[in-house]
Structure 1
Amino acid sequence: MMNRFIYFILLISSGTFISAQDSTDTGKSKLEVDFGADLVSSYIWRGIQFSEGPNIQPGITFKKGGLEFGTWGSSNFTTNFYEVDLFLSYTFKGFTIGVVDYFLMDNNAINIKSNYFDYSNNTTDHFIELSASYENPGKYPFRLMLSTFVYGADRDINNNNYYATYLELGYLLNIGHLKFDFFIGGVLNDNYVYIDDKGIINLGFKVEKEIKINDEFSLPIYLSFVTNPVRENVFLIFGITI
């Protein structure tokens, strides 16, 4: 069944454009709209497995200049797990500041009440994260990201926010037609969102390449090798972007 699903995705992708741009130029920049999806063998986020088995991860972004807004989600094929996030960011000369609203569900019953519109800090299931990052494309390309959960479900038994903070450093390297991203990331304080883990939780690399389908379409694929030293876990993830 999984092989037939992948073939179906490739068939659709090879003949369909999944990005669009507003052709009306209004000032210095124009609105760009892009949407697509990833198919991954497992959903791993910052060294933590959030969903076993294959996941489909759709997303759409609206971009104008350095300002970007969009939504992203993930769901699998075996349980009622799904995630829907909203994000807003601004990038200028390699620096990016952003906010993400994470919302996850893992229900055993379809149509269970999800309380998506509950934003009360003591009861909400949303996780609101602020982040700042920098990417240097120079001779020694690297990226640095710092994020903190400032509101929502990352709280202790007394409903006090943990303000879980995560720091990640990545080194970017091109080898032939392959693009590598070597990374190390860790949690700096007590938390709930990272399953109480503190320390280095995300260590590994991601490698990307494109498979040429025809003169007009190439299929991006990637592989991630991820370890979580705190939990002594290891993951190998394959993904396709359409």
Structure 2
Amino acid sequence: MKTKIFCALFICLGLTGYAQKTVVSDTINTSKTEIKTSRLDFNVNLRTSHLWRGLVINDGMTATGYIHYALNKEQNFTVGFWGGAGFDGRYTEINYFVQYQKNNLSIALWDLFNTTGVETPRVFNYDKRTTTHLIDLRTSYRFPGNFPVRIEADVLLYSGLNDRKLNDGNDYRSIHSTYVELSYPLIRDQKVNLNVFMGAAFPINGSKHLYTNKTESNFDIVNTGMTVTKNIEIFDYKLAVSTTAMWNPANKIARIQLDVGLF
């Protein structure tokens, strides 16, 4: 009987010791693997409207997504997609781009495909007689130092229905609508920052550009306003929020847009 009790105590002590060792080994802090910088990233925004170069592309709540991948280690060359969708289901857009950016200089080529109001959109249709694609060349440069003015110049290289005219030879030719913008950060590196901008548009080949609803117009101020930005801290998370006040003198419209960068 004593032998059986002794054996039972020995087994219990052994199991207890094993359990203690197991608990101790499980609570040892292990070094966390450092997360490497990824070439692939994406961003999501919520906006009360979608404004673009003085135009109101969607006049309601809009969700936008931005997927981009860096082709080189320095991340100067990127490719990706940008798209948006309206909460009411009317506005839909998907764009493709390739971009080079270095030392405040940016050059990009965008393929814009907005299918809003298109009954049978064909994503791979680039026929100049029927396509709704816009091929957009975008360039910008921000001057360094104490006068960081930013200059942007964008040209529509190719377009079907939205930026073309019928010439004397009964053939369609692109108008090459051009948009030029100057912007300047009046307040920067503060809790609340302020950026002001002014944009103008004109056609290279024709008497009317894309950014006006006039019958004919060789030059217009189409986009003026300001953007106020701040980071709102929620626990350990910073939410990027901006508000833009925009006026388009040519089209006689004005909007306030609230933009929240979720991540």
TM-score, reference length from structure 1: 0.81
How far, CA to CA, are the matches of 2:54 and 2:47 in structure 1? 15
Give the aligned partner of residue 181 of structure 1. Answer: 195
Amino acid at match of 1:213: I
On the 8 A contact 2:242/2:259 being kept in 1, the answer is yes
Give the aligned partner of residue 212 of structure 1. Answer: 233
- From the CA coordinates, give the structure whose radius of gyration is larger: 2
Structure 1 unaligned residues grouped into runs of 5+ = 1-20, 24-29
How far, CA to CA, are the matches of 1:43 and 1:71 in structure 2? 17
Query: Secondary structure at the residue paired with 2:194?
Result: strand
Give me the CA root mean square deviation.
2.1
On the 8 A contact 1:57/1:75 being kept in 2, the answer is yes
Alignment of 1:70-109 (within 5 A): 70-107=80-117
Q: CA deviation at 1:178?
A: 1.6
How far, CA to CA, are the matches of 1:209 and 1:238 in structure 2? 12
Amino acid at match of 2:210: V
Q: CA deviation at 1:113?
A: 2.4
On the 8 A contact 1:171/1:183 being kept in 2, the answer is yes
Give the aligned partner of residue 221 of structure 2. Answer: 200
On the 8 A contact 2:106/2:140 being kept in 1, the answer is yes
C-alpha change, 1:125 and 1:150, in structure 2 (3 Å) is same
Question: How many equivalent residue pairs?
Answer: 212
Structure 2 unaligned residues grouped into runs of 5+ = 1-33
TM-score, reference length from structure 2: 0.75
Q: CA deviation at 1:22?
A: 8.4
Q: CA deviation at 1:185?
A: 0.3
Query: Secondary structure at the residue paired with 1:107?
Result: coil
Amino acid at match of 1:211: I
Q: Which has the higher strand share?
A: 1
Q: Does 1:156 align with 2:165?
A: yes
Amino acid at match of 1:188: F
Percent identical? 26
Q: Pick from 173, 183, 189: which aligns with 1:170?
A: 183
Amino acid at match of 2:111: D
Q: Does 1:121 align with 2:128?
A: yes
How far, CA to CA, are the matches of 2:49 and 2:64 in structure 1? 11
How far, CA to CA, are the matches of 1:211 and 1:61 in structure 2? 25
Q: CA deviation at 1:95?
A: 1.2
Runs of at least 4 residues off by over 6 Å: none
Q: Pick from 240, 245, 259: which aligns with 1:225?
A: 245
Farther-moved stretch of structure 1 (192-201 vs 85-94): 192-201
